[in-house]
Structure formats: C-alpha cells, structure tokens
Structure 1
C-alpha cells in the first residue's frame, strides 16, 4: 500500500514530516526502521535526515498488512560447505528485501543465524529466487569469488530445477514441453504471450521473452493432479503461468486463477515446492544434488522412486 507525502516545509526531518502526515510518531519510527520509507525514489532509514521542499516521500506498507520476521534454524540447512549454503525455505517468507521491508527476509535471517553460530556472517548472495509462498531448496553463496561461475551455470542451463506442483483439474497430458512468450501486461502483472510474439517490444518497456517448461503428471486424484515441473528458462512465475495457461492453475494460486479452497478447506498459499536442485559445484565442478523433503500436500511416501519414473 502506497502513501505519497509532498513536503512543503523545507528542512523538516523525515521523522517529523512522517509523524505529521500519519498522526503517529511510533508508526513513523516503525516504518522508517523497517525500510518502508522512500525519499525521491531512494530508501531512507535515517529519521533525522532533513528534507528539501521539493522532496516526495513515499510510504510502502505490506500489501497484506503483515510484516514477516523469519527465523533460520540449523534444521533448515539442506547443504553447506565453505562456498555454498542451501536452505529448506518455508512458505510465507520473502527471500530478499521488499519495497516495504528491508529486514523481514530470509537472507537477513540467515546472516543473523550465521553470525550467532560462527561469530560473523559471510557476504551472502542469492543464486536464485523463490516466490513468497513457494517452499523448498533455496541456494545462496557464501564466497564472492564463486558468484560468477554460479550465475553462469544458472544462465547457461547447467542447473536443473525440479518442482512439485499440485494443480487443479486432471490434465489430459502425461508429459508435455511448452514454450510461450513471457512479459508484463499493461497492468504490470506477468502474463503468457503467444509464441510468435517472442522478441516483440512491449509498450511498457522490455520485450516478450521465451518461456519454456517441461511438465510430467506424477499422480492424478479426483479433482487435482500432482506434477513434476522443470523450468527450462528462468522467467518470473514461470511454472504458475504455464499451468494456468494450460487450464490447470496451482491449487491456492488465486493470482493466476487457482482455487482458493480445496476439498472444503481454505488454501492460504499456492502449492508449489522446489524439490530438487542439480548443478555443478561452482568451484570444483563436482555434481551436486540438493533435495528438500516433499511437502505434506504432495502425499509422496516414496518420493524418490515415484519422481524418478
């Protein structure tokens, strides 16, 4: 939620300007401390900074009104060496800072965990990203000198990501590889574009990019199907978009047309899980496989056997 505050009193402090606009010094201090206040397009966290008369102050609050404060525990670590660390990301957590919150994200929580455990935290770099409600394997680097090789592996397709997806309805296909265009629509929301529009310039900036996903149905139920999804490109919301495009949106993915209830129960989060990550180690080149336990909604007592078929 955005609130724009024009400044007419030159030299006023950010704290005083925000307090006057919001009617609460405590709320003003909280918003500044969390990093939800922007001055002329720049995040400002100093309450005593003086504002010029032409300054525009924008306050950003969480869209759902919730500030998250994730905690990393040793049980969440799926893999760690001197260069890399992989977490079993829970649902309902952001992996990095948002426009409304510079504190409540998993990278900051991991840094705090490592500082407590080891006495200091290394510079942490996200190798990839997962949506707030997507759970599973999240990989970060701990050594800056492996970042280039790590990003190159992701960029050049040397990394294989396998997701579990619970989608609505019963797909007619057993296995399919789909390629479409990907970009933002006029409202700023990501959408699927026809394949023939790949490369077309968009009015709001950028171009339509290729988006390719391999899907395999693992299990059919009465009213839903469990699928393995392998994104062959790295577009935002790729699996969610392609399943919705095929007429089988994720259970709980109301943003892209998925049902908000399933079997009489309200679903709070979309059902997508980053189950497996395979990549060459960025320093040694050794094959590395990192897995996260399948979530309860996947109902896979023998996940490895079933998913390897």
Structure 2
C-alpha cells in the first residue's frame, strides 16, 4: 500500500479537505477531490468523504494513493449483489462475499459490507461481529440501536453459535478440540500463533473432518470463542492450514487444487432474536469456489441445527 500523511498547519489550517490534499501532495484539485469522494482520505484516523469539510490545526491527514498495486481512482469491478439471508424490522443478515471488508479501514479503499448494508437500509447499519476480508458467509446487523445492543450481547456473552466450513490441508484427524491460546506472532506482523509457550488469550475450537484425502480435507469448525484468526491459527497448529490462506501457509498447500483465496465460510449462525428472544438460525449457501471441494469429496455441506456446544463470534 502506498500512502502519504501530513499534519494540518500553517496555510493548510481552515482549508477544505480537497484543497489541502491538493496543496500538500501537489495534486490537481479535481483529482484530490475525487480521492476524498472515493474514501481514500482519512482525517484524524476517520474516513472523510466531505471534500469541503474544513481542517483544524494539528489534524493528521492520510491519503491512500495505491492499494494492492491499484490506484483508488481506477475503475473498480462491479461489487457482487448484496444477498439478504434474513430481514425483519429489527435484524438484517447478509451473505458477505469474499474480498469485501466488514467495515472501512485505512488499509482498504472502497466500499465495505457495513457501507453497503447501510446504503440498502438508507441509514447506518449496526455491525455486531466481523469476518476477515477473505472469509465469506453469514453476517448480522441490527436495524435499531436497541437491536444492535441486544445482538452484540449475544456474541459477547457466548450465546451466539456459529458453524464454519473450510477446505484445509490433508492429515486432519476425524474430529477433535483445539484449546491452544492465541497470541500475536512477534516475528510475523498481522499473524497470530496458537501455542501454550506464550501468554495468549484462551481459544477453543471443535472440528469435525467431513472428508479426508491425500490432497485436502473438508472440515466443519465450531468455535467456542471468537478470537481474531482463531480458526486459521488453530488449523495451522494442527498442520493443516486453510487452503489459499497465504498468511498461514495455506497458499503453498493450494498449489494444484486451485484455491484463489482463504477457503473459509461462515455457513450458519444461531442466536436469539433481539426483541422476541426466539431462536434465529441463518444459513449462507457454500460459495462455488469452496463447494467444488465438497463435490470432489462426495460429501454434502452441513445444514440444520449447529451440533455441539460451540459458541462465540469467531
């Protein structure tokens, strides 16, 4: 990622965001304005889309000029159609496509899932849990402040239950539980390690291997806890990283089987309705890139009630 950062001082104080970006970076004003409009400009750590907003002294402005080798002004491919899995007056649940960030971040230019759901609703959507950018599947939002708070409590208090499916490297046992704590890997920024050798946070995952072959396994994952990268790190600790997961060694394992992304899918979610308390079970169809592993293995994707006691917001 290529970005430029500057502090608002001197002649930049009181200027509109677009004009300040143009002056500080030596850009034509129309180009600077367009960078603001597409969400590539952050003021004091928050995305700013108002090109005419006035800056105050001391604010730090960050401009993303290139991300993933591409300018934010490049023509982006059309976003996949938003698939709604469930909706009522309190809740909306959607099938998050792989490659879409759950929420805006400084490291990602372009729309996010929360932006797209908010646009559909015509008002801000209440995000209560997150999936990694490359992970697909069920994501739920509150449509009111009360619903958002109640849904968040379902995850925070361990009542929400989730079922994931994945294609992983070969060699997984038929079933088991991984209870290795997670800690940040000091040698590899952005990666978590599952080990008892460090002072990590507790993490617990049940798994059931649905099919095991010489090239890959198809596995059902039931997290009890909801830690960052929990499932990815736990499978790596078992010696079977998720296929296509470059950060955890799954990209090399994917050679010859055609995994273009981390093949992890949040397939089902169970939680209490925020107003009625009635159990909601929401399922997202397994996407084509992962489904072909189920087809090759000759096993169906799981469906229905989530087995076991796995809960959490992994």
Question: TM-score w.r.t. structure 2 length?
Answer: 0.80
Partner of 2:171: 170
Partner of 2:79: 70
Q: 1:25 to 1:302 in 2, by over 3 A?
A: same
In the alignment, is the contact (CA less than 8 A) between 2:191 and 2:248 conserved in 1? Answer: no
Partner of 1:96: 103
Question: TM-score w.r.t. structure 1 length?
Answer: 0.81
- 2:58 counterpart of 1:60: no
Gaps of 5+ in 2: 309-314
- 2:9 counterpart of 1:19: no
Paired residues in the alignment total 291
Partner of 2:161: 160
In the alignment, is the contact (CA less than 8 A) between 2:163 and 2:267 conserved in 1? Answer: yes
Partner of 1:113: 120
1:265-284 mapped onto 2 (5 Å cutoff): 266-284=258-276
Q: Distance in 2 between matches of 1:86 and 1:94?
A: 16
Residue 133 of structure 1: how far off its partner (Å): 1.3
Partner of 1:204: none
In the alignment, is the contact (CA less than 8 A) between 1:164 and 1:229 conserved in 2? Answer: yes
Q: Which whole-Å deviations, capped at 9, do the CAs of 1:220-279 have from their partners, x for residues lacking one?
A: 133000000111111111111111122111111001111257363653311001111111
The residue matched to 1:283 in structure 2 has which SS? coil
Partner of 1:201: none
- 2:210 counterpart of 1:218: yes
2:32 corresponds to which of 28, 34, 42? 28
In the alignment, is the contact (CA less than 8 A) between 1:182 and 1:190 conserved in 2? Answer: no
Q: Distance in 1 between matches of 2:144 and 2:36?
A: 31
Q: Distance in 2 between matches of 1:261 and 1:61?
A: 33
The residue matched to 1:209 in structure 2 has which SS? coil
Q: 1:304 to 1:39 in 2, by over 3 A?
A: closer
Partner of 1:141: 142
- 2:182 counterpart of 1:182: yes
Partner of 1:124: 125
What is the Cα-based RMSD across aligned positions, in Å?
A: 3.0
Q: Stretches of 4+ moved more than 6 A in 1? A: 305-309
In the alignment, is the contact (CA less than 8 A) between 1:72 and 1:109 conserved in 2? Answer: no
Q: 1:260 to 1:33 in 2, by over 3 A?
A: farther
Residue 63 of structure 1: how far off its partner (Å): 3.6
